[in-house]
Structure 1
Amino acid sequence: MPLSWEVIGYGLAGLIGLALVARWLRLAESRISDAAQAREMAENLLAGFVAHGAVVGTDGNAALVAGSGAVAMLKRRGAKVVARRLLPPVALSQDVEGVRVETGEQMFGGVLLFGVTADEVRSLESSLTFH
């Protein structure tokens, strides 16, 4: 059965409808907008984590948050933000786009902090307090 223009039209209308529903449900708004939001997210996602500083990638996809004795790595995953607790010093490498932080966890993977420098991450790490 050949594909008709009518079927293609219905398919496109369905895709547009799904995009509108997703926008209405605000599924695409999990962007990490600033350091204050990153600190709040880290405290909500990690039990007992008390944040005091953060660096956020300029694209809003990831952030590194300093707390008492650890850092929280935040990363957008679909419509949600997920977090992992990392112990310093974090393994990182400077890329052209920013800093890549290696979490050591295969499922979480490395995270690119777009527009962030290695010096900013090391400065954040040096601000850690141990309680």
Structure 2
Amino acid sequence: MSWTQLGYSFAGVIALALIARWLRLGESRIASVAQARETAEQMLAGFVAHDAVIGTDGGAGLVAGNGTIAVLKRHGARIAARRLIAPLALSQGIEGVRIETGERLFGSVLLFGVTDAEVRAIEASAGRPRDVVVTLH
């Protein structure tokens, strides 16, 4: 192998890394409340989202739905979701609120920069029915 081949190989790897960064491949940040609601509705069957809160780092989110709560977190290059029922087991720390999901493989979820009061508000709004339409025949 010559130095020229080594240089071209190195340049090719750098070019591929730049293209992946430009295309934002592998980025799984939860960027907005609207994205969190949409992701929860897509990933959990029958889930209708109405309120949400996300961590300031975009690593996790909490979405209130029709009687349940969706917990979202980054899992590699994707976002993983689980459905929980209130009351949530949580602990307040300096960095934010940690929610225990009760699932060993999913683990706990840290909502960075979120307060206990914000989580309790989401938890309370999950129990309230929204936009209930009753039809009489």
DSSP-derived class of the 1:124 partner: helix
**Equivalent in the alignment of 1:55:** 53
Please list every run of at least 4 consecutive aligned residues from structure 1 whose deviation after the TM superposition is greater than 4 angstroms: 8-15
Q: Give the distance between the partners of 1:73 and 1:28, measured in 2 at CA.
A: 20
Any residues of structure 2 matched to 1:66-77 within 5 Å, and which?
A: 66-77=64-75
**Equivalent in the alignment of 1:37:** 35
Q: Give the distance between the partners of 2:126 and 2:85, measured in 1 at CA.
A: 10
What stretches of structure 2 of length at least 5 have no aligned partner?
130-137
Say what the alpha-carbon RMSD is for the aligned residues: 2.2
Displacement after TM superposition at 1:27 (Å): 2.0
Displacement after TM superposition at 1:17 (Å): 4.4
**Equivalent in the alignment of 2:115:** 117
Q: TM-score, normalised by structure 1?
A: 0.84
What stretches of structure 1 of length at least 5 have no aligned partner?
1-5
Q: Give the distance between the partners of 1:92 and 1:124, measured in 2 at CA.
A: 13
Distance 1:91 1:20, change over 3 A: same
Any residues of structure 2 matched to 1:72-91 within 5 Å, and which?
A: 72-91=70-89
Q: TM-score, normalised by structure 2?
A: 0.81
Which deviates further from its counterpart, 73-82 or 23-32? 23-32
Which deviates further from its counterpart, 72-81 or 28-37? 28-37
Q: Give the distance between the partners of 2:99 and 2:92, measured in 1 at CA.
A: 9
Q: Give the distance between the partners of 2:48 and 2:90, measured in 1 at CA.
A: 23
Aligned pair count reads 127
Displacement after TM superposition at 1:21 (Å): 4.2
